[in-house]
Amino acid sequence: MTAKTSGTGGFRPAPPDDRQGRSGEERVRGGLTIRRGVLGGIAAGLIGIGCCAGPTVAALLGVISASTAVSLAGNLYGHWEWAFLLAGTLAAAAVVVTARRRARSCAVAPGRQRRFLVLVAFSALATYGILYAVTTALGRLAS
């Protein structure tokens, strides 16, 4: 993209459209940010625990009764837990692959890549573990 300079008749490169004033390399390295890793891990954890958290949220919102939620969660957990865990794992892998592709155009230290992977995995497992404990406790209260 170029911008016409006034009075000279020539063209000069337009400034980058970045509100924070970062260089091109910093924008590309933004693929491995802490925020993206944590949010991606949380999303993967929510997908993985969806078999239990979905009915719980529906019951808390009043869409279904507590006994129906317990029954549905037990059915989903018993028969479809593997599908939810696989979907959560695939979501975490997609976050890591997408971030690595964004950061590929510049040299990123291997330690930074490992740290991003650990961050995604830790936030996904923490989200899964916390929500598992909450839904288990709510299930005990309902039954």
pTM: 0.70
Contacts of 98 (CB under 8 A, 6+ apart): 31
* 26-78 tens-digit pLDDT: 444 556 788 889 999 999 999 999 988 899 889 889 999 988 988 898 899 88
Residue 140: pLDDT above 90? Answer: no
For residues 41 and 12, the model is more confident at 41
Distance between CA atoms of residues 69 and 80, nearest Å: 15
Give the model's pLDDT for residue 49: 93
- The DSSP string of the chain is -EEEPTTT--EEEPPP--TT---HHHHHHGGG-HHHHHHHHHHHHHHHTHHHHHHHHHHHTTSS-HHHHHHHHHHHHHHHHHHHHHHHHHHHHHHHHHHHHHHTTS---HHHHHHHHHHHHHHHHHHHHHHHHHHHHHHHHH-
End-to-end CA distance of the chain: 64
* 80-103 tens-digit pLDDT: 999 999 999 999 999 988 888 877
